[in-house]
Amino acid sequence: MQFLGVPFAKPPLGELRFRKPQPTERWDGVRDATHYADYCTQPGKAESAVKYTKGSEDCLYLNVFTPGCDKKKRPVVIWIHGGAYLSGAGSSCAKQGDRMCREYDMVVVSIQYRLGAFGCVDFAALSGLSDRFDHNCGTWDQVAAVDWVIENIMDFGGDPDCVTLMGESAGACSVLTLITTPYLKGKIRRAIMDSPAPLLMNTAENGRLAALDVLGYLGLKEHEAYQLAGMSAERLTKAVNDSEYNFVNHHPYLLPTAPVVDGDLIPELPFDALRHGAADGIELLIGTTKDEGTLFAMGNKRDIFPGNTRQMEKFFADHPEANRSAITALYPDYPGKRAFQEIGKELFFHLPSIEIVDRLSKTGKVYMHHFDYAFPVLKLIGMGAVHCTNSALTAGVELQGLAKLLGLFSGKTGKAVAERIHHYWCSFIVSGDPNGAGEPIWPEYGKEKNTLFIDARCHVEKAPFAKEQQAYGLIRPYKN
């Protein structure tokens, strides 16, 4: 059974634009829940399983996939899409939701939230806007959706006391934010983070700088920022998209679209909150891909990682705490494209994820993976095990969009890897233990720092990245 386009908050239009989500109003009679709702306005068209949807500011809806509305209290997973807080849609979870609930007797929920200018740029930090704009509208949307699920999911056969949050890329960053906010304390049992960038979320100062950068693309001074309230969605979207690739020229490894520290919903950077105990006890499955960096340092103007010697050396100069010689010694081709990609992978994705695992493994069950399998076509063009190919396989062989296209070239080996990921992830959602999917056994991370390498043949290694950890330490791009 599926219930699509279910509202969890009022449409954020008119006076509610740039404000926290408000509870949805009750309706009389039967509401049509057979079609996906529109996704948040964004550059271009969202990667979605549904062709008839379009971008709209009226986007605060979720979808529920369930084996039955029978009060059975099944495990619940809430899926949060990625897309750099700039793009994405809840409907892209269609095949995952349908298959996961059928095969593992769970309830799957996919949510949407405001993106870009509408929910993920901190305009509230600008002078004179704090009484008209709220901080972190997109994250407040996510909190509202999770609360809606906890309050109502028993009517769909789900257990509100057995909720897993699952996300990829910015969705994984969202999971990190949600398990550390005081507003959801004690409500989440498990979390899955695929390819997270744990240091992506912005300090208050970096959030303000990002908002000012967007303002510049709109041709506005700070004292003119009030004009944002009546500006067209198309103009706002273009400005944020343009800013995305300018901001990183001055602040590589950061984005202008990201949650910010606001002293309330996000009292401190989620990475720090987790290290200070905010998520202790939560069971975690987390991992990154071998080639996370290839997508973001391709040698063009849309890169978000430094892609040439000048940019990389500027980053080192801006971060004197970085041991430049130890880091570059890891890469014989430095300065070269592959070295820039690897440095970006470690700084942005991989090493901060290990820091998270080192903390949470002290208080709960944690499973870490490193995804090494590359679809043949991606291997052929030099992309390798690219960003988020792990999460793309969650539905097993039932792929869609670009993942489906690439899956056509993967043959029996790729299908077997997809099935393995599908069963590992689903088993974890149901029981907190990914095992039950056959060999190899995936041990907890624990004191031995066990890491599962997922490839055509999987294997487990103990503390496999000690050399990288020692060389890098913990570098926080521009204090994030």
Q: What is the DSSP string of 160-183?
A: EEEEEEEEETHHHHHHHHHHHSGG
Residue type, 201: M
pLDDT of the residue at 438: 58
Question: Measured between alpha carbons, how far is 434 from 445 in angstroms, rounded to an integer?
Answer: 12
Question: Measured between alpha carbons, how far is 146 from 83 in angstroms, rounded to an integer?
Answer: 19
pLDDT of the residue at 398: 47
Question: Measured between alpha carbons, how far is 429 from 353 in angstroms, rounded to an integer?
Answer: 20
Question: Measured between alpha carbons, how far is 56 from 480 in angstroms, rounded to an integer?
Answer: 31
**Which stretches of 308-465 are DSSP H helices?**
309-318, 324-328, 337-344, 351-360, 376-380, 389-392, 401-407, 411-431
Planar angle of CA 75, 81, 87, nearest 5 degrees: 165
Pairing verdict, β 55-56 and 2-7? unpaired
pLDDT of the residue at 437: 56
- Which residues in 24-59 are b (16+ Cβ under 10 Å) and which e? beeeeeeeebeebbbbbbbbeebbbbbeebebebeb
Low-confidence ranges of the chain (pLDDT < 70): 47-50, 94-95, 395-410, 437-439
Q: Residues 157, 72: contact at Cβ < 8 Å? A: yes
| Cα separation of the two ends of the chain | 42
Q: Give every CB contact of residue 380 below 8 A, 6+ residues apart in sequence.
A: none
Question: Measured between alpha carbons, how far is 315 from 305 in angstroms, rounded to an integer?
Answer: 10
pLDDT, tens digit, 9 for 90 and up, residues 345-397: 999 999 999 999 999 999 999 999 999 998 888 888 888 888 888 777 775 54
Give the residue among 297, 325, 321 at the shortest CA–CA distance from 311: 297
pLDDT of the residue at 261: 98
Q: Residues 120, 91: contact at Cβ < 8 Å? A: no
pLDDT of the residue at 304: 84
Catalytic residues: 169, 292, 387
Walk across the sheet containing 61-65 and list its strands: 2-7, 61-65, 107-111, 74-80, 158-168, 190-194, 283-289, 366-371, 450-454, 459-462
pLDDT of the residue at 467: 97
Question: Measured between alpha carbons, how far is 80 from 58 in angstroms, rounded to an integer?
Answer: 18
CATH code given to domain 2-479: 3.40.50.1820
Cis amide leading into 267 (omega within 30) = no
Domain ranges of the chain: 2-479
The overall pTM is greater than 0.75: yes
325 C-beta neighbours (distance < 10 Å), count: 9
| Residue carrying structure tokens 């030099």 | 382
Give the residue among 126, 127, 124 at the shortest CA–CA distance from 139: 124
Spell out where 112-259 has E strands: 158-168, 190-194
Residues in the chain: 480
